[in-house]
Amino acid sequence: MTALPAAGPLVPLATIGLLIASNVFMTFAWYGHLKFKATPLVVVILASWGIAFFEYLLQVPANRIGHGVFSAAELKTIQEVITLGVFAVFSVAYLGEELRWTHFAGFTLIAAGAGLVFYKP
């Protein structure tokens, strides 16, 4: 197995790109089945596991590549902020749900809180 490249300017971009892609898979794994309420629960659970496998193929390397440039807490924070963005797009585009101003306000407050993780006094 080859070693990962040394930290460089592309590491943050690669990490964030992989986390975005992994979150797309995970959002479908967790919420995609909501359009298929007639499908038996065991079937959607197995399908979700299958989708989540691909999420792990992206998320684990993202964390491995990014750790060292980012702390574990920063990686988790990046993932959570990305998750909110991906979910917002997914819920509108795929589920056809409407986002209210309160959703945006709540997401903004969460993102502001996440910003504290990166604050270095």
Tell me the domain boundaries of the chain. 10-118
Find, among 8, 9, 11, 27, the residue nearest to 82 by Cα.
27
In Å, how far from its chain's centre is CA 53? Answer: 14
Digitized pLDDT (tens) for each residue of the chain, 121 residues in all = 555 555 678 999 999 999 999 999 999 999 999 999 999 999 999 999 999 999 999 999 999 999 999 999 999 999 999 999 999 999 999 999 999 999 999 999 998 999 999 888 8
Distances (CA, A) of 25 to 19, 48, 51, 60, 90: 10, 9, 6, 13, 11
Q: What global pTM score does this model have?
A: 0.86
